[in-house]
């Protein structure tokens, strides 16, 4: 098959600019568009820090490019105050400029969808918020339609872009990748109908887990549907040298004789860090020299769209740790770079995913790459990969007593913990990027052929 001409659409951008466009021009004078990031200074002018969906999608896009399966890819995402067009390592990036007037309203609508699906409260639909959401989706669509006829397929990601498929309409094939849990049983009929009508406008839908595929079918979806596990690049999660490991442990005050419990998740109530903190006093009764490390800061919404839920949640967690008198044993590390995160995985005795509800949870697969034992909430999609007492342990969401018992078991039974980590490493191969490349290639080719 010929190379696929692909356009990716996500909310979260690949590049976050520390200087706005006017400041960049003032610093450098005239710059040709698209601006090549090679002409700017990383960590001074911008940061290449894709997170979550964008990070996973970029990794597989690069694999497609290396294998010659995709040519001249385009990427459209929300990026207020950024240059309109940027070029980075063969990817032409288009930054959608949603006017600041609309940003809080757009955020209100899409956060309402997210909260209701995750069981955190019913969405109140406000006309002005819906207008901003629809306008953002239209701005993405306008940009993408300009690429035709030089695009074979549009690959659109998650609920923030839900309407893009219907707006593109019959002009080109579209694939929608749904990343959060697909559980519509408890959402309002109005929201359920909104989601399903838009899902039906796509030529194919991809979900993360078998649980979500079943949910999609139960909801009455009639189109093409595929299940592909989220993926990591095993080569990326290798070991670091002893010097870097020592520096990182020293930086964060982690002693050699301490037991280390690690949670890697953005600061968000749904991630369940409070359950881990509540479990800690119980764990410390048998293992007093135990520390809980919380890695992660706010999401793109918290850090770039002016929504303060990340920082609010951090404050609540710190207050909870103080109330439980474990504040000296809970470390809030915030954002850590990739090399430091590798060190923390290497040092961890147990890795947790305590989410109330989670589309998947790649931290489990990352931990398995280091052969670490995991304890996973049954609300997380990755829990369907867990065979109890074989490659990990599970617990009911928010049940901190059950979680404490599972952690204590692993800390007190080193041979079982090592065995689970080894079996987990074998399980992680199901979530390898090389597996995902082949499956996605098949989906792309099938959709293009049948269009």
Q: Could you tell me if 399 and 417 are in contact, meaning their C-beta atoms sit under 8 angstroms apart? A: no
Which sign does the torsion angle of CA 376, 50, 243, 291 carry? negative
CB 210 within 8 A of CB 384: yes
pTM: 0.93
Our measurement of the distance from residue 209's CA atom to the centroid of its chain's CA atoms, rounded to an integer in Å, reads: 15
CA pair distance 368, 427, nearest whole angstrom? 8
Cα–Cα distance measured from residue 415 to residue 411, given in angstroms and rounded to the nearest whole number: 10
Please check whether residue 213 is in contact with residue 359, taking contact to mean a CB–CB distance below 8 angstroms: no
365-368 long-range CB contacts below 8 Å, 24 or more apart?
365/230, 365/231, 365/232, 365/428, 365/431, 366/232, 366/237, 366/264, 367/262, 367/424, 368/421, 368/424, 368/425, 368/427, 368/428
* Architecture per CATH, 6-231+432-450: 3-Layer(aba) Sandwich (3.40)
CA-CA distance, 308 to 235, in Å (whole number)? 35
Cα 61 to Cα 220: distance, rounded to the nearest angstrom? 31
The CATH code for residues 242-431 is 3.40.50.2000
CA dist list (Å): 39 to 16, 45, 184, 342: 15, 10, 47, 30
**Residue 10 near residue 77 (C-beta atoms within 8 A):** yes
- Are the C-beta atoms of 343 and 242 separated by less than 8 Å? no
Instruction: Enumerate the CATH 3.40.50.2000 domain ranges in the chain, comma separated.
Output: 6-231+432-450, 242-431
Cα within 13 Å of Cα(167), Cβ side: 18
Q: What is the pLDDT along the chain (451 residues), one digit of tens a residue?
A: 689 999 999 999 999 999 988 899 899 988 888 999 999 999 899 988 777 899 999 999 999 999 999 989 999 999 988 999 999 999 999 999 999 999 999 999 999 999 999 999 999 999 999 999 999 999 999 999 999 999 999 999 999 999 999 999 999 999 999 999 999 999 999 999 999 999 999 999 999 999 999 999 999 999 999 999 999 999 989 889 999 999 999 999 999 999 999 999 999 999 999 999 999 999 999 999 999 999 998 755 555 565 578 899 999 999 999 999 999 999 999 999 999 999 999 999 999 999 999 999 999 999 999 999 999 999 999 999 999 999 999 999 999 999 999 999 999 999 999 999 999 999 999 999 999 999 999 999 999 999 9
Enumerate helices (H) and strands (E) in the chain, giving the number of each.
16, 17
Q: Tokens 């019959």 correspond to what residue? A: 170
């Amino acid at each position: 098959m010929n190379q696929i001409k692909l356009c990716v659409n996500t909310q979260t951008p690949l590049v976050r600019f520390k200087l706005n466009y006017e400041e960049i021009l003032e610093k450098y004078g005239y710059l040709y568009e698209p601006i090549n990031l090679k002409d700017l200074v990383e960590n001074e002018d911008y940061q290449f820090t894709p997170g979550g969906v964008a990070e996973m999608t970029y990794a597989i896009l690069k694999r497609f490019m290396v294998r010659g399966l995709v040519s001249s890819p385009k990427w459209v995402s929300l990026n207020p105050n950024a240059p309109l067009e940027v070029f980075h390592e063969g990817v032409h990036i288009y930054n959608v400029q949603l006017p600041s007037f609309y940003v809080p309203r757009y955020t209100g609508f899409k956060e309402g969808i997210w909260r209701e699906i995750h069981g955190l409260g019913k969405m109140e639909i406000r006309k002005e918020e819906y207008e901003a959401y629809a306008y953002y989706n239209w701005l993405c669509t306008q940009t993408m339609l300009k690429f035709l006829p030089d695009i074979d397929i549009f690959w659109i990601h998650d609920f923030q872009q839900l309407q893009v498929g219907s707006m593109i309409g019959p002009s080109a094939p579209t694939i929608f990748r749904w990343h959060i849990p697909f559980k519509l049983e408890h959402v309002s009929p109005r929201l359920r109908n909104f989601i399903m009508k838009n899902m039906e406008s796509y030529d194919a839908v991809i979900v993360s887990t078998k649980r979500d595929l079943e949910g999609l079918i139960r909801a009455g979806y009639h189109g093409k549907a595929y299940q592909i596990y989220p993926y990591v690049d095993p080569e990326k999660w290798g070991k670091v040298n002893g010097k870097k490991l020592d520096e990182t442990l020293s930086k964060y005050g982690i002693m050699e004789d301490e037991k280390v419990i690690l949670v890697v998740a953005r600061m968000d109530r749904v991630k369940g860090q409070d359950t881990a903190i509540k479990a800690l006093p119980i764990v410390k009764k048998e293992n007093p020299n135990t520390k809980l490390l919380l890695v992660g800061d706010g999401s793109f919404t918290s850090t770039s769209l002016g929504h303060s839920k990340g920082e609010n949640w951090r404050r609540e967690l710190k207050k909870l740790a103080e109330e439980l008198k474990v504040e000296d044993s809970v470390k809030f590390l915030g954002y850590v770079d990739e090399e430091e995160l590798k060190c923390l995985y290497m040092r961890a005795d147990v890795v947790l995913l305590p989410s109330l509800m989670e589309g998947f949870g790649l931290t489990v697969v990352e931990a398995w790459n280091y052969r670490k034992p995991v304890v996973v909430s049954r609300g997380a999609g990755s829990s369907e990969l867990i065979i109890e007492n074989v490659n990990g342990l599970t617990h009911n969401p928010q049940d901190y007593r059950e979680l404490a018992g599972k952690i204590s078991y692993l800390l007190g039974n080193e041979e079982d913990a090592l065995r689970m980590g080894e079996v987990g490493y074998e399980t992680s191969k199901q979530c390898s990027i090389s597996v995902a490349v082949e499956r996605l290639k098949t989906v792309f080719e099938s959709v293009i052929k049948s269009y």
